[in-house]
């Protein structure tokens, strides 16, 4: 009898235990944003997923979160998000800020609510809810090394929404994951996305009630960046895909400047010891202007790792490559030679530009210190530029920059070179992303600034603010080879120029290289390598200096052309490249944008439109108290036919004023407003 009672007691205990397991396996966690509008629901059932709602609008449907990893013997040692068991939860609310001296504002507020779920199996998941979005990241607590054989990050929606998809193209040597991160935005419904095509991020999804959701990653360090593909099962969402780990490489690509993987592993990353993985992010906005002034990528990036940043000098650059070193009115043969770069230095000094760049062609094909171009005397140029307060930045391919980084950077620091433009990364697999941090750290130790091309920003610029700029944008260089079909360009540059500030600029600055002085309407535009032009009006180009975030900003055209257009050049030269405050005034993705940025007591205001001529009202209430002098550049009355036509005016304004402006097709408007 005693044994029977004991058996019944054990059965009862087992039943309660099983009920507890069932309850635990069905746990659901809610996390709200500080303003209460955005809600994250975490479903910790058998498999982990999350969903998002914004003020009654469903945003993200249940979307899987998982990661699997194996050790070198092929044994599964990481199985995050599967058969989940939450062992503890922690919550906190954060309301803080941090300085951002090399950004579009002097300080960023970091305000969010956080939920951390510690799970059985050696991992945690951190969730954050901001007023304008939500993010999560996995934290691996496994101490022994393993290989990530797959990460699942889904972004599912309840309807077949319209999206703007930046498909990858122009693969290097046809390698699937070797690409410059320069994409136009293709409008397409989620269900119509191409099955086998990769997209970069950010990727925008149009929700109901004018709201937008934007998918991106952030805080990527020693881990591959996130590509996106259509979710083939639901056709109403996208999912992450990552470049597999490269095992063998060959020299290839354009002018043999790339390192192209020829064999990749069956895993995407190697993990050693406890570490956090990158953030997976969904922004949610009610108005498009919220995208034009958004700080979430900064908030989710690693904190600054340079103790003394006083030597980092943002500024503008006289650039040689786009204008093919084309000078006129000089008494020497222009080209890649010492006299030409002395002329660039003179131009920079006369207009108080901080730098010149000597682009591809100064160094050897396989070295930064050997087989240098004998026509260029770097020591003489540094000696010429230094008393004029002009710094020199040198170009390098990534594969040359990583060969002898320490000795090469030390050599050019000693010479007086101020930085490097490193080009043709064209990958974001784990070894390459690891090398970005190593290059940035070495450059910082040698007090060198960097401009990284063939790469998009993913947070390293906050950790190492000596990285002043990134490409990863369909910049002005594309005008040199734009296809002309039936007398018109194939691609729409002005539309892209009023799309990128809402999407590409979400993740960080972009080296678009504006400043063309030869401007053309759509019907008059032609391609030319040595005498290139831009689509849209003169003031459209001038407005880019305020609209485009770029702590290292190029003047892409020839010094000779700028000197012939000194009135426009004077205005461009005065626009700062970092700011104390930014205000998004008006705009719609792909249609137009209007921004105001403040540096000290001076406001810089600009607007740009696509090929649609547009009337717009600029409300100056952001100015605050006082009376201001406004220097204004607007499209001329004939700018729709002659794109170089502009009109300069000056007037007195106050915060009570509203300015009615008119932009021509592909046009712009810009002003410098100074407190009296």
Q: Which residues are catalytic?
A: 423, 477
Give the Cα separation of 17 and 11 in Å (integer): 10
Burial of 13 (0-12, 13-18, 19+ CB in 10 A): exposed
Pairing of strands 467-470, 449-452: parallel
Angle subtended at Cα 598 by Cα 290 and Cα 393, rounded to the nearest 5 degrees: 100
Please count the CA atoms within 13 angstroms of the CA of 531 that sit on its side-chain side. 5
Give the Cα separation of 446 and 468 in Å (integer): 15
Sequence-separated (6 or more) residues with CB below 8 Å from residue 671: 603, 604, 605, 606, 630, 631, 632, 633
How are the residues of the chain apportioned to helix, strand and coil, as percentages rounded to the nearest 5?
20, 35, 40
Q: 415 φ, ψ to 5°? A: -70, -25
Give the Cα separation of 214 and 291 in Å (integer): 9
Residues in the chain: 676
SS3 206: strand
Per DSSP, the residues of 212-236 read EEEEEEE---SS---EEEE-TTTSS
Sequence-separated (6 or more) residues with CB below 8 Å from residue 238: 154, 155, 190, 193, 199, 203, 215, 228, 229, 230, 231
C-beta separation of 666 from 535 below 8 A: yes
Burial of 595 (0-12, 13-18, 19+ CB in 10 A): buried
* Tokens read off for 230: 């259509």
3-state SS string for 412-456: HHHHCCCEEEEECCCCCCHHHHHHHHHHHHHHHHCCCEEEECCCC
> Beta-carbon neighbour count of residue 128 at 10 Å?
24
Give the Cα separation of 220 and 204 in Å (integer): 20
Cα→Cα distances 502→283, 414, 591, Å: 12, 40, 11
> Beta-carbon neighbour count of residue 250 at 10 Å?
14
Pairing of strands 275-276, 203-206: unpaired
């Amino acid at each position: 009898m005693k044994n029977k009672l004991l058996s019944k007691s054990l059965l009862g205990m087992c039943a309660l235990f099983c009920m507890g397991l069932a309850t635990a396996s069905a746990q659901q966690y809610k996390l709200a944003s500080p303003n209460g509008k955005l809600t994250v629901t975490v479903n910790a059932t058998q498999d982990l997923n999350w969903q998002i709602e914004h003020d009654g609008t469903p945003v993200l449907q249940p979307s899987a979160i998982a990661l699997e990893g194996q050790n070198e013997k092929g044994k599964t040692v990481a199985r995050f998000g599967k058969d989940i068991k939450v062992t503890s939860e922690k919550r906190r609310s954060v309301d803080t800020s941090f300085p951002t001296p090399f950004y579009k504002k002097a300080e960023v507020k970091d305000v969010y609510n956080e939920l951390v779920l510690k799970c059985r199996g050696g991992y945690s998941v951190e969730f954050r809810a901001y007023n304008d979005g939500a993010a999560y990241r996995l934290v691996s607590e496994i101490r022994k090394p393993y290989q990530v054989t797959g990460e699942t990050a889904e972004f599912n929606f309840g309807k077949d929404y319209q999206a703007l998809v930046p498909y990858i193209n122009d693969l290097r040597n046809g390698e699937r994951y070797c690409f410059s991160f320069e994409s136009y935005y293709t409008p397409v419904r989620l269900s119509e996305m191409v099955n086998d095509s990769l997209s970069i991020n950010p990727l925008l999804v149009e929700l109901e009630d004018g709201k937008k959701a934007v998918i991106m990653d952030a805080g990527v360090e020693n881990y591959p960046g996130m590509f996106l593909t259509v979710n083939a099962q639901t056709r109403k969402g996208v999912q992450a895909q990552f470049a597999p780990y490269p095992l063998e490489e060959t020299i290839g690509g354009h002018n043999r400047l790339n390192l192209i993987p020829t064999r990749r592993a069956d895993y995407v990353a190697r993990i050693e010891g406890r570490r956090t993985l990158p953030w997976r992010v969904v922004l949610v906005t009610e108005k498009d202007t919220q995208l034009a002034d958004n700080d979430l990528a900064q908030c989710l990036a690693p904190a600054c790792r340079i103790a003394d940043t006083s030597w980092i000098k943002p500024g503008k650059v006289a650039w040689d490559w786009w204008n093919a070193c084309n000078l006129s009115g000089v008494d020497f043969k222009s080209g890649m030679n010492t006299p030409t770069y002395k002329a660039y230095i003179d131009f920079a000094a006369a207009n108080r530009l901080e730098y010149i760049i000597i682009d591809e062609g100064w160094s050897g094909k396989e070295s930064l210190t050997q087989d240098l171009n004998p026509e260029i005397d770097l020591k003489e140029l540094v000696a010429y530029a230094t008393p004029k307060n002009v710094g020199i930045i040198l170009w390098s391919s990534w594969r040359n920059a990583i060969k002898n980084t320490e000795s090469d950077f030390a050599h050019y620091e000693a010479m007086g070179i101020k930085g490097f433009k490193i080009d043709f990364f064209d990958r974001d697999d784990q070894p390459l992303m690891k090398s970005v941090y190593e290059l940035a750290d070495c450059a910082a130790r040698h007090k060198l600034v960097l401009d990284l091309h063939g790469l998009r920003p993913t947070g390293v610029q906050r950790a190492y603010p000596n990285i002043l700029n990134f490409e990863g944008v369909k910049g002005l260089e594309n005008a040199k080879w734009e296809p002309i079909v039936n007398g018109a360009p194939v691609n729409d540059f002005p539309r892209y120029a009023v799309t990128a500030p809402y999407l590409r600029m979400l993740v960080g600055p972009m080296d678009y290289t504006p400043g063309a002085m030869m401007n053309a309407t759509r019907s008059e535009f032609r391609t030319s390598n040595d005498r290139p032009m831009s689509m849209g009006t003169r003031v459209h180009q001038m407005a880019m200096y305020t609209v485009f975030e770029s702590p290292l900003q190029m003047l892409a055209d020839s010094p000779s052309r700028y000197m012939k257009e000194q009135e426009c050049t004077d205005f461009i030269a005065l626009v700062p490249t970092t700011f104390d405050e930014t205000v998004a005034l008006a705009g719609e993705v792909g249609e137009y944008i209007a921004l105001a940025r403040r540096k000290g007591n001076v406001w810089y205001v600009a607007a740009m439109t696509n090929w649609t001529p547009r009337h717009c009202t600029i409300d100056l209430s952001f100015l605050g108290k006082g009376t201001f002098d406004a220097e204004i550049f607007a499209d001329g009355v004939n700018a729709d036919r002659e794109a170089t036509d502009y009109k300069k005016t000056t007037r007195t304004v106050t915060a009570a004023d509203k300015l009615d402006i008119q932009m021509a097709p592909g046009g712009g408007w810009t002003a410098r407003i100074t407190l009296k």
